[in-house]
């Protein structure tokens, strides 16, 4: 079991972020006899998944919806699948946009390097 500060350090987030995720019902940690939050390996794995979704710009509302569906049980499998497939499509669009932007930047950089080289000669 991990404390909130241990999980925060492990994941590179603040304890405030973890409390916020709890407030938003994205995670529900266990509590000890003193009311302190305790996280097990399944909590850490779930939070890693949530952090990855955040890194790929999944809106918090969709993460919250996914968490809600997961808690509801197996009968929500299709809805969770659809949510993740939609997000994967959004990620694939992001990748295409980033690749196009990278190509444009590479072309512009090559142009400037050629101009600089011409002026040196």
pLDDT tens digits along 11-68: 999 999 999 999 999 999 999 999 999 999 999 999 999 999 999 999 999 999 999 9
**Which domains are delineated in the chain?**
1-55 (1.10.1660.10)
pLDDT tens digits along 62-76: 999 999 999 999 999
- Phi and psi torsions of 2, nearest 5°: -120, 150
């Amino acid at each position: 079991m991990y404390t909130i500060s241990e999980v925060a350090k492990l994941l590179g987030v603040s304890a405030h972020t973890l409390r916020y995720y709890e407030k938003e019902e994205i995670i529900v940690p266990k509590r000890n006899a003193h009311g302190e939050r305790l996280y097990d390996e399944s909590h850490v794995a779930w939070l890693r998944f949530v952090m990855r979704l955040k890194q790929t710009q999944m809106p918090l509302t969709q993460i919250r919806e996914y968490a809600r569906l997961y808690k509801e049980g197996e009968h929500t499998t299709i809805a969770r699948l659809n949510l993740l497939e939609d997000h994967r499509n959004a990620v694939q669009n992001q990748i295409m946009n980033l690749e196009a932007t990278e190509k444009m930047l590479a072309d512009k950089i090559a142009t400037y390097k050629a101009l600089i080289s011409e002026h040196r000669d």
